[in-house]
Structure 1
Amino acid sequence: MCQHQPPCPTAESADREAAHLVAHHPEQGWSLLCNGVLVFEDTGELLPDGRVIAPHRPDALRVTQAA
């Protein structure tokens, strides 16, 4: 699917989110990458083969105070 040189990461690659943006719809909360991956605003993903990647936002930073 990707015509970029060098080619973008495939949908199966760990760095799949680094692929070029093809369509961006912030009002609907999703973007399409050139490798066919749909990336959602909540960081979830839908791969071209139908697999779902659950949202993977980093945990909130925890602040602790010294006693």
Structure 2
Amino acid sequence: MAHFPEQGWSLLCNGVLLFEDTGELLPDGQIIAPHKPLGTHHIATAA
């Protein structure tokens, strides 16, 4: 495993690249889109 928080990614022992935004790049090239939940400061409300 390699961890590079200053670059926003980690390499797991199974070959998966894990990105800070929760996206993933699998060893077979498959992409898993980021799925980080939005914080409350990103939610807009209508008045």
Same fold flag (TM > 0.5): yes
Counterparts of 1:39 and 1:47, CA distance in 2: 9
- State the identity as a percent: 76
* TM-score normalized by the length of structure 1: 0.55
User: Under a length normalisation based on structure 2, what TM-score does the superposition of the two structures give?
Assistant: 0.75
Gaps of 5+ in 2: none
- The DSSP-based 3-state class of the residue aligned with 1:31 is strand
User: Which of these two proteins has the greater Rg computed from alpha carbons?
Assistant: 1
Q: How far, CA to CA, are the matches of 1:60 and 1:41 in structure 2?
A: 15
Which runs of 4 or more aligned residues in structure 1 lie more than 6 Å from their structure 2 counterparts after TM superposition? none
- Give CA-to-partner distance per residue, 1:8-49, whole Å, 9 cap, x none: xxxxxxxxxxxxxx0000111100111110000110000000
Tell me the CA shift for residue 57 of structure 1: 1.2
Q: Say if 2:20 is the partner of 1:41.
A: yes
CA-based RMSD of the aligned residues comes to 1.3
Aligned residues: 41
Deviation at residue 58 of structure 1 after TM alignment: 2.2
Query: 1:1-67 counterparts in 2 under 5 A?
Result: 22-60=1-39
